[in-house]
Structures are given as C-alpha cells and as structure tokens.
Amino acid sequence: MIKIKRALLSVSDKTGITDLAKVLVGLDCEIISTGGTKKVLEEAGIEVTEISEVTGNPEAFGGRMKTISFNIESALLFDREKDIEEAQKLGIESIDLVVCNLYPFSKVKESNGDFDTLIENIDIGGPTMLRAAAKNFKFVAVVTDVNDYEKIISELKENDGALTYETRFELMRKSFNHTADYDALISTTMDEKADEKSIRLHFTGGKKLRYGENSHQEGYFYREAGMGKSLYDMQVLHGKEISYNNLNDIQGAIDSVKDLNRFAVGVIKHSNPCGLAEADDQWTALKHAWAGDPTSAFGSIVAFNKPIELKTVEFFELDNEDKSKRKFVEVIVAPEFSQEALEYLEFHKNLRIVQFDPAICQRKFDMKYLYNSLLVQDADNLLYEKMEVVTKKKVDIKAKKKLIEFGLKAMRQVKSNSIVLVREMADDAFQLLGMGAGQPNRLISTRLAIEKATENLTLEFEGEDIFSYYDQEFGKAILVSDAFFPFPDNVVTASQARISTIVQPGGSMRDKQVIKACDDLDIAMIFTGTRHFKH
C-alpha cells in the first residue's frame, strides 16, 4: 500500500478532475498542477501548487516546456527504498500520483486539423511523466483514463488515501498501452502526410481457447483496443466453451444476416451459408433457411437478425422424445432471446447460446495476415453499381429487385468461386436454394449449386411429376455469380437446368459470346458492374 501524499494533475480532458482532486485534498494530499488544469481546480476552490514552484523554472515557449525537469522526473523515478538518502540530499520530494491524459492529438486529427495544429498537439512532457511514473509503479500510481477516477476515489477513501500494489500495476499497464497507442497514432499520421501508408495494431485481453483450428494448434481470441463494439464482447448465455472454429463461423453467420431487412436466418458451415432465408416472420425464415441444405445444417451455426421468441426455437424440436428428430446445431446467435426461448434452448446442455446484434457488425476494413506481411482492403460494402439487362430477353427489374438484392447479399458471403441460386417462395419469403463455393473452376460451382437445388426440390416435392416441378422452380429462380463468366459454358449448364435469369458483374473479354449464348437459349442476363470475390 502506498499513501498518496503528493499528486501531479495535468490533463487535457478535464472530465471529473475536480472530483478526484477534492478527494485527494480531503485526504491531506498536496496537489501540483499546470496551466489549464490548475485554473479549473482553483476555480473549484481547490488549493494548488504551481508546477514552477517544483521545477524552479517558469512555463516557457507557449507551454511547450512545463513539466520536463530534473526535479519532476526525479520525484517520480527515484527508488523509495534505495535512493531515499540521495533524494534528500538533492532536495527531491516524492510525487506519488500522476494524472495525465495527454494532448488531444486524435481529436485534432479527426477534426481535420492542419499540419501545424497536429504538431502542436504532440505531447512531450505528458508521455515523459507517464512513462517515469509507470516504470516506478512500485512506489507511484499513474492514471490516464477518466473512467478510472471512480475506482481510484473509492479505493483512496477505503484505504485512507492509499492505493494497492495490484491497482498500481494495472494502472501501469494501461499507461504504457496509452503512450504506445499515442505514439503509434502520431507515427502513422506523419507517415500518411508523407504519402507512405503504415499501420500499427493493438489487441488486448487475449483469451486462451481450448485449441485452434485443430487440436494440436494453440488458439487465442483478442479484442481490438479502443473499439466501442467488438465480437469479443458477445455474451455467451449458455453452453460449452466457444471454440476457434465456432468464432470463425459465428462471424460468417453474423455477416450472412446483418444486411437483410426482414426476419432473416443464416445457417453456416465452415463460414459459408448452406442455408439463408428472409421472410415476414421468423419461424418461416428459419424453416426455409434450414431447408436450403438440411443435411449440412447438422452441427451448424445459426444466426438471426432479430430477437428470438419461443415459437421460433421450437422448430429445433430439442425436447422431442424421438431424439432422431432433434435438430443438432453448435451455436445460435441472436440480438436477444425471450426468457421462454432461452429456457427452451437450455434444454440442450451443450448448445452455445450467444447474444450479439448482427446489425452493429459493419466493418470498414478487412485484413489478412500473410507471411510476415499484412493485406488490408476496404470492406466489401458496395452491393452493385447498376442493374442492366444486356440480353434480348428482358426482366422486370423493379419487380425482381428485392430478390436480386437478396441473391447478391447471399452470394457475397459465399467463398469464391461463388454461384448461388435464389428464389421467391409462395409465402413471399426469399430462399437460398443452392450454392457452389470455393471451387477453382466456376463451372464446377454452377453444377454444385444446381445439384444442391435439385436435391432440395426433391426433398420438398409432393406430387407425381417431379420433372415439371424442377422446370417450374428453376424457371422462377435467379442464378447469381460473384464474377464474370469467362466462357458461355456456365450459361449452357444453367439452361439445361431450365434457369432463365442470370445475374453477374460482366467485364469479361468474352461478354459478347456469353450474351449471345443467353440470347440463343432464351435466358435473361443482368450486369451489375460489381465483382464480389471472397477468399
């Protein structure tokens, strides 16, 4: 326990500083301060020692020189056990607490301050004090975050003006992270001014996972520092520990439904949607999403874009006496769960129930770590540039726009080469009917999408003429491709399945051949002008 007898307060953000200072004074602590902070404290009736009385020098050069001095840094740095006699000979009186949050460089940058203003908001004395105090945390406390004031005040009152070792160690770590982030922002900003891009990343709170992608690999989960919202903050309401693979698939599941407006459900396996649907009610959306690939849905991650009610989750039949009818999923993700829905899901003791709102998951950048290198790109947030019918056969774009947009959003979540088939159901729901993903040849993806759609249509068909039903449903469906068709072979394959509408970005040197193939086979083709590779 270290008694705080003397504190140096010098802050840009004055929030709560008078409350902290009043508590310190009430515990017989001397307050040393500078400039604007000193003025605020004195206006609140708090007695303050001017820092020049400690340094022996005036503030100078427009405030550029205030705290940097032998006296201040010595008061922070000397070892209270080994150096006490030397400090007394030198006339150095210890400073036990530093409260400092640095010049607002980030705010000036965010407000597009000019270069000279940026330079003036590079703090020098502040980081020097923080690093000195943090290094000597065994005897000195250092506070950089206004959100810590309440905790500090409580502990000071509880311990008659003293702070524990554990608190000082925690504050020390925060201080070094604070100065590291501050310097990183300055350095990357200056690089940016020189037209030389650089990036420095800071992730905290590493949670050790059971293992990584495979059992022989270690796995960790981190939160990006300074971000107000993060998948890291999801609430696990029930079930087994979340795994590395679960987390990857949870992100894919969230991405699959985050941009859909009506009740939407995504069923994810290996980060690809094997089922996706959007409807006017949640149960219907779940039913159609599950039907997109009921076999692959086994052990899947299921994401919802709206709060879940009991009726929806009863679809899983978790309490069915016939265990073969219970639908097994690994994780269910939703913004909220009604109490009844939560209690029902908890019937499955291992089912991971995660509360997280997909709507907040809007990213600006994507990153991929390569061998000692990093790829960074803008997130794929542009759905299409245009909707242009380029064939003789026409499509009522206005009537089909919402279904086409659903198809584009579905396709955008499927790994390249990506082909999806989507359709509108009799109940006005939109469904991912089939998809082909991750193939080195687009034609294979097209065949896989058609095969899966055929399988799903076979499962749902009730009647005598299955082939007429295939023709009917494929005729209503829309095939969406993530990139252009390099050859007409995809068109021929689609035609053989009786598909009559294709959406693709266009841009191939053989576009004219592909369009001619569509015209010859009576297929409508729409160009969007936007490619959606996802690797």
Judgement on whether residues 298 and 347 belong to the same structural domain of the protein: yes
Judgement on whether residues 169 and 251 belong to the same structural domain of the protein: no
pLDDT reported for residue 461? 92
Mapped onto helix, strand or coil, the DSSP state of residue 381 is coil
Judgement on whether residues 249 and 180 belong to the same structural domain of the protein: no
Measure the CA–CA gap between 235 and 431, rounded to whole angstroms.
Answer: 29
Show Cβ contacts of residue 291 under 8 Å, excluding neighbours closer than 6 positions.
275, 431, 456, 459, 460
pLDDT reported for residue 32? 96
Residue 367 lies in a domain: no
Judgement on whether residues 307 and 264 belong to the same structural domain of the protein: yes
pLDDT reported for residue 227? 87
Judgement on whether residues 17 and 159 belong to the same structural domain of the protein: yes
The enclosing H or E element of 399 equals: helix 397-411
Judgement on whether residues 333 and 436 belong to the same structural domain of the protein: no
DSSP string, 277-298: EEESSHHHHHHHHHHT-TTTTT
pLDDT reported for residue 444? 96
- What burial letters (b/e) apply to 76-100, b meaning 16+ CB within 10 Å? bbbeeeeeeeebeeeebebbbbbbb
For residue 307, give its domain range.
207-222+230-360
Residue 388 lies in a domain: yes
Residue 501's CATH number: 3.40.140.20
Catalytic residue numbers?
135, 270
Residue 374 lies in a domain: no
Token representation of residue 206? 């590493």
pLDDT reported for residue 338? 97
Nearest to 98 by CA among 69, 122, 75, 121: 75
Model confidence, pTM: 0.87
Judgement on whether residues 110 and 213 belong to the same structural domain of the protein: no
Residue 51's CATH number: 3.40.50.1380
Residue 373 lies in a domain: no
Give me the residue label for tokens 């034609």. Answer: 443
Residue 450 lies in a domain: yes
Judgement on whether residues 33 and 161 belong to the same structural domain of the protein: yes
Domain total for the chain?
3
pLDDT reported for residue 64? 85
Predicted confidence pLDDT, tens digits, the chain (535 residues): 999 999 999 999 999 999 999 999 999 999 999 888 999 999 999 999 999 999 988 888 888 888 889 999 999 999 999 999 999 999 999 999 999 999 999 999 999 999 999 999 999 999 999 999 999 999 999 999 999 999 999 999 999 999 999 999 999 999 999 999 999 999 999 999 999 999 999 999 999 999 999 999 999 999 999 888 999 999 999 999 999 999 999 999 999 999 999 999 999 999 999 999 999 999 999 999 999 999 999 999 999 999 999 999 999 999 999 999 999 999 999 999 999 999 999 988 899 999 999 999 988 999 999 999 999 999 999 999 999 999 999 999 999 999 999 999 999 999 999 999 999 999 999 999 999 999 999 999 999 999 999 999 999 998 889 999 999 999 999 999 999 999 999 999 999 999 999 999 999 999 999 999 999 999 999 999 999 999 8
pLDDT reported for residue 149? 97
Residue 200 lies in a domain: no
pLDDT reported for residue 59? 83
Backbone angle region of 438, left / alpha / beta, with phi > 0 → left and psi within -120 to 50 → alpha: left
Judgement on whether residues 133 and 15 belong to the same structural domain of the protein: yes
